[in-house]
């Protein structure tokens, strides 16, 4: 069996929603200190709906595929549903990842939640800090 599913290969080769949103309503940047990969997610939110989302990922193929899939999963969704995005759901949508690559999908979940936290913080919207802990990446800014 191939190490990577066709969906992983497809999202790696043709990533959706790559880029930057200049006037984003929320931006999240996270990294994994061990592998050094960095992921940044930009959200545009209108009337509590994610009307646009873009990402920049400096990392492995699984991180690129995970961020691409995560952006597809949240685009057009009500903003509060972003809290429900889990790395497990991203992995399932990709038809699986090898065990040693599961942390790449965790990065996608963290990046989306970090962008959501930034949106809530900027707009003075209250949230449960346990659901949105600060996972921002010190390594991203060196
Ligand atoms: Fe670290 Fe993929 S190897 S995010």
The rounded mean pLDDT for the chain is 94
Atom of ligand 1 nearest to the CA of 60: 2
Strand order in the sheet with 49-58: 26-31, 38-46, 49-58
Q: What is the mean pLDDT of residues 45-72?
A: 97
- What does the pLDDT read at residue 137? 66
Q: pTM for this one?
A: 0.94
Provide mean pLDDT across the span 126-139: 80
In whole angstroms, what is the distance from residue 142 CA to residue 131 CA? 27
Residue in 62, 66, 68 with CA at minimum distance from that of residue 98: 62
**Residue 139: per-residue pLDDT:** 58
Calculate what percentage of the chain has a pLDDT beyond 70.
95
Q: Give the number of C-alpha atoms closer than 13 A to the C-alpha of residue 124, restricted to the C-beta side.
A: 0
Asked if residues 131 and 25 have their Cβ atoms less than 8 Å apart, the reply is: no
Give the model's confidence band at 134: pLDDT under 50 very low, under 70 low, under 90 confident, else very high. Answer: confident
Does the annotation mark 104 as catalytic?
yes
Quote the tokens at residue 42: 């930009």
For 6-124, CATH number?
A: 3.90.1010.10
Nearest CA to ligand 1 atom 4: 104
Residue 63 DSSP SS3: helix
Q: Which residues line ligand 1 (CB under 6 A)?
A: 32, 35, 37, 59-60, 62-63, 101, 103-104, 107
Specify whether 35 is catalytic: yes
Does pLDDT of 141 surpass 80?
A: no
């Amino acid at each position: 069996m191939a190490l990577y599913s066709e969906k992983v290969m497809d999202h790696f080769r043709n990533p959706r929603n790559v880029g930057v949103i200049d006037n984003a309503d929320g931006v999240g940047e996270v990294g994994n200190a061990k592998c050094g990969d960095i992921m940044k997610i930009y959200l545009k939110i209108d009337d509590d709906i994610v009307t646009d989302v873009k990402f920049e990922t400096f990392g492995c193929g699984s991180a690129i595929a995970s961020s691409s899939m995560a952006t597809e999963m949240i685009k057009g969704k009500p903003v509060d549903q972003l809290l429900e995005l889990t790395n497990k759901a991203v992995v399932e949508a990709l038809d699986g990842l090898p065990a040693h690559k599961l942390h790449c999908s965790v990065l996608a979940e963290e990046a989306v939640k970090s962008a959501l936290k930034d949106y809530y913080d900027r707009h003075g919207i209250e949230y449960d800090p346990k659901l949105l802990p600060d996972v921002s990446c010190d390594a991203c800014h060196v």
